[in-house]
Amino acid sequence: MKTILLLVAAVALIMIGWHLRPTSTPTPVPTPNPAPLMDIIVTDPQPGQVISSPLTVSGQARGTWFFEASAPIKVLDSAGHVIGQSHIEATGEWMTDQLVFFTGSVSFTQATGTGSVVFMNDNPSGDPVRDKSFTVPITFQ
């Protein structure tokens, strides 16, 4: 009987020791931060593109960029003066946080040298914290 009790006690101690043994913990591998989500992708005009009036613009923007399927754009000369303004229109369902295709056209007074086309989100709240813009540098023809 003593032998059986000693055997059970030995097995119990072995089991407890097995569960309490130190285990190697794998070293966590740092994961890179994901790339930030683009709010707008302009396909036309491309940076540095030579443009003339009227300018046709296109690309994709998150539905949150639009209000009533529209968002403003403007053309600036090299001094930063607005020489044309219009809007882009979503061509698909804009009530989403996904990318939506857009097109638009803007006429502007003739300029020389360089300038930019500025795409702005439509911010009906008027809260400046919610303002977003994306600028494409261009060259006037």
Would 19 be classed as within a structural domain? no
Please name every residue paired with 67 in a beta bridge, in sequence order, or none if there are none.
Answer: 70
Does residue 61 lie within any of the structural domains?
Answer: yes
Q: Which residue has the tokens 């006037």?
A: 140
How far is the C-alpha of 94 from the C-alpha of 80, rounded, in Å?
A: 30
How many structural domains is the chain composed of? 1
CATH code of the domain containing 107: 2.60.40.650
Residue 110 counted as domain residue: yes
Determine the Cα–Cα distance for residues 87 and 57; give it in Å rounded to an integer: 10
pLDDT tens string, the chain, 141 residues long: the values are: 666 655 556 666 566 665 666 666 565 555 444 445 689 999 999 999 999 999 999 999 999 999 999 999 999 999 999 999 999 999 989 999 999 999 999 999 999 999 999 999 999 999 999 999 999 999 999
Identify which of 104, 96, 103, 86 has the alpha carbon closest to the alpha carbon of residue 62: 96
Q: Considering the entire predicted model, what is its pTM?
A: 0.73
